[in-house]
Amino acid sequence: MNFAEMEPLFESVPGLVIIDTEGKTLYMSQQCADYFGVDKDSTIGKEIREYFPETTMIKNMNIEKPVVVFYNSYLGIGISVNFPVFDENGTRIGIGEYDVVQNSEVLYGLADDYRGFLDGVLNGQTGHLTTFDRTRYTINDILGKSLVMQELRRKIISTAATNSTVIISGETGTGKELVAHAIHNLSNRRQEKFIKINAASIPENLIEEELFGYEKGSFTGALDVGKKGKFELADKGTLFIDEINHLPMAMQPKLLRALQEKEIDRIGGQEPIPVDVRIITATNEDLKELVRRGRFREDLFYRLDVIEIDTPPLREHPEDMEEIIQSIIEELNVENGLSKVGVDDETLTELKNRYWKGNIRELRNVIESAMAFSKDDTIHLTDLDSTHAGKKVDLDALAARGNIIEQAKNDAEREVIMKVLERFNGNKTRAANYLGIARPLLYQKLKRLNIKE
């Protein structure tokens, strides 16, 4: 290998030196020779230890990938990278080293830069976050290099710099919760609590005490000490109200008051309690549409709708599929003690073409089951489960049944109506009300769509 030809390039790399497998110098840059105070040309073919007794390169001779090493020598503290050197046939010819930090002064400068960088990150000026707290999601967990995902990250960063209320909308499994965590962890409230409440999973009669707490003795069965609600728990931090679209109508004015007045009333409390909480909400239904149908208060909507963030469904960024699949596989390898390396091309194409109703969550389930079926280190088409998860609409089957669009509309309508009926235990008045249609029309639809009760 002719290193001399590369001289000008090599000179820009601080502390560059390359040795052969015997530990003899193949190349030393002028800059490096100066650093050691030796004559550059006379070092070629000489034992590196003569000039550089504390080198880690001899010990690291068989590394496969670059490794970072630390020095504490008479020249000061150094941080370098040792990297393996192979010829064009892949045969090892030696090992090289270059410096990241050549002395203590540089190191202190670097430490200052790093602090400045972190401050910048925390003030929302850059997209890279180095976090030492891996217990929660950060912006780094939001994968995808596509334009829509870049835009999403940009929006998260700018949102984090504010204190405004946020509505995160998106289909199920698109990462709404991830986004809420990322905003909190980038905001200046990140040292404070992130409290979550799911408006859909709490019975209507308990939601008030969950949100606002109660005073001791305020009702039979109340704890003697009273109870703090989520608002008080989240004081100075962030309160994430998931599935806000399911917040009962009766609770909505109380939430509005808390947001407007920045104080809450415990059940049975005498005095309002001031709270400083940043509110992030998530919904998988269009809140504006709910307002239109009278299912969500307009005044509350406008109070919540300061910043809107949409999480895109997987089908709008199929180019991120490969990266996301790879990351899911790596996570599941750790979780399940497996060592799968990836999916084959055929499988990747198939996964890209599927319609992911449950988005990344559903993709994850499909990959998990495929990993369990897979017999070698790669996932093949035959490993994908035989369920219809993520399958595209079968056009031919629909066409065989007549007008495709009409069929698709009917299928969608049937699904919605059945879900709503289920929610209201078959009560048609409430279902019709919820659907925003008159009761007779609901009966007509049930008949036309052949919905059995």
Q: Which residues bind ligand ATP (CB under 6 A)?
A: 141-144, 170, 172-178, 284, 311, 324, 360-361, 364
Identify the three-state secondary structure at position 278: strand
Token pair listed for 279: 């509110």
CB of 364 to ligand ATP, least distance (A): 6
Kindly state whether residue 244 participates in binding Mg ion, applying the rule CB under 5 A: no
Report whether 152 contacts 139 (CB < 8 A): no
CB of 170 to ligand ATP, least distance (A): 5
Q: Which is nearer to Mg ion, 176 or 190 (CB)?
A: 176
CB of 2 to ligand ATP, least distance (A): 45
C-alpha distances out from residue 22 to 25, 39, 94, 333, Å? 9, 21, 8, 39
Q: In whole angstroms, give the CA distance from residue 371 to residue 353.
A: 19
**Among ligand ATP, Mg ion, none, what binds residue 340 when CB lies within 5 to 8 Å by partner kind?**
none
Q: In whole angstroms, give the CA distance from residue 288 to residue 307.
A: 14
Q: Which is nearer to ligand ATP, 281 or 284 (CB)?
A: 284
**Among Mg ion, ligand ATP, none, what binds residue 347 when CB lies within 5 to 8 Å by partner kind?**
none
Q: Which is nearer to Mg ion, 177 or 320 (CB)?
A: 177
Q: In whole angstroms, give the CA distance from residue 388 to residue 391.
A: 5
Q: Which is nearer to ligand ATP, 124 or 144 (CB)?
A: 144
Q: Which of 177, 208, 265, 383 binds Mg ion (CB under 5 A)?
A: 177
Kindly state whether residue 241 participates in binding Mg ion, applying the rule CB under 5 A: no
Q: Which is nearer to Mg ion, 124 or 175 (CB)?
A: 175
- Binding residues for Mg ion, rule CB under 5 A, total 2
Q: Which is nearer to ligand ATP, 254 or 357 (CB)?
A: 357
Q: Which is nearer to ligand ATP, 48 or 139 (CB)?
A: 139
Binding mask 188-217 for Mg ion (x = CB under 5 A): ------------------------------
Token pair listed for 184: 């909190």
Q: Which helix (H) or strand (E) holds 346?
A: helix 345-353
**Among ligand ATP, Mg ion, none, what binds residue 96 when CB lies within 5 to 8 Å by partner kind?**
none
Place of tokens 């704890």: 223
Q: 343 - beta bridge partners?
A: 379
Helix, strand, coil percentages for the chain (3-state, nearest 5): 45, 15, 40
Kindly state whether residue 320 participates in binding Mg ion, applying the rule CB under 5 A: no
Only one of the segments 22-30, 32-40, 102-110, 168-176 lies at the binding site for Mg ion (rule: CB under 5 A); that segment is: 168-176
Evaluated on CA atoms 96, 101, 104, 107, the torsion sign reads: negative
- Neighbouring residues of 33: CB distance < 8 A, sequence distance ≥ 6: 39, 40, 43
Only one of the segments 151-159, 172-180, 249-257, 415-423 lies at the binding site for Mg ion (rule: CB under 5 A); that segment is: 172-180
Identify the three-state secondary structure at position 301: helix
Q: In whole angstroms, give the CA distance from residue 160 to residue 185.
A: 8
Q: Return residues touching Mg ion (CB under 5 A).
A: 176-177
